[in-house]
């Protein structure tokens, strides 16, 4: 069982770090200047939603919704890992760890210029951790009953 837990942590950690830091799109397109940060909550998301980039509106919405939902979905498994592997039962602690992990990612993106340090990402990632924590509760309860 320890091997399975270690594999889950390593796999999720690799996927998360690849998506937010090492993906070719991030490495090839460094973000410079005023575009490196977004500190006003949901202003950048609103601007992205209301002002399509390019001529293809359908592609714009796919990209926008992919980014929006992707930030949430990326942190749902985080809660499962924290709760099931590390046996952290406090929903508040899981959400706090999701928040802190997301802040660390945004700081790394700012320092390396591999993405935009965006407060919206932190809020959406934290929402994903919250959703994951509530989705994980039934699994955690069953596991505790079987132990």
In the chain, the number of structural domains is 1
CA 101/CA 109 separation, integer angstroms: 12
CA 61/CA 84 separation, integer angstroms: 35
Specify the higher pLDDT residue, 141 or 14: 14
On whether the CB atoms of residues 73 and 128 are closer than 8 A, the answer is yes
pLDDT value at position 33?
75
pLDDT value at position 143?
64
Over residues 8-50, the pLDDT tens digits come to: 999 999 999 999 888 887 767 777 777 788 888 888 888 877 8
Specify the higher pLDDT residue, 121 or 57: 121
Over residues 55-90, the pLDDT tens digits come to: 777 877 888 888 899 999 999 999 999 998 999 989
E strands of 96-143, at which residues?
Answer: 117-118
Tell me the average pLDDT across 137-142: 76
**Domain range spanning residue 114?**
2-146
pLDDT value at position 147?
47
Specify the higher pLDDT residue, 54 or 125: 125
């Amino acid at each position: 069982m320890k091997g399975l837990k270690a594999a889950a942590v390593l796999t999720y950690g690799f996927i998360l770090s690849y998506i937010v830091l090492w993906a070719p799109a991030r490495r090839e397109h460094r973000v410079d200047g005023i575009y490196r940060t977004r500190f006003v909550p949901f202003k950048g998301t609103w601007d992205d939603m209301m002002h399509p980039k390019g001529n293809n509106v359908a592609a714009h919405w796919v990209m926008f919704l992919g980014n929006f939902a992707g930030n949430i979905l990326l942190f749902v498994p985080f809660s499962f890992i924290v709760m099931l592997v590390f046996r952290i039962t406090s929903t508040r602690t899981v959400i706090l760890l999701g928040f802190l992990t997301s802040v660390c990612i945004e700081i790394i993106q700012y320092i390396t210029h591999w993405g935009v340090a965006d407060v919206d990402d932190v809020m959406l990632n934290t929402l994903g951790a919250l959703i994951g924590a509530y989705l994980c509760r039934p699994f955690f309860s069953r596991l505790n009953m079987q132990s």
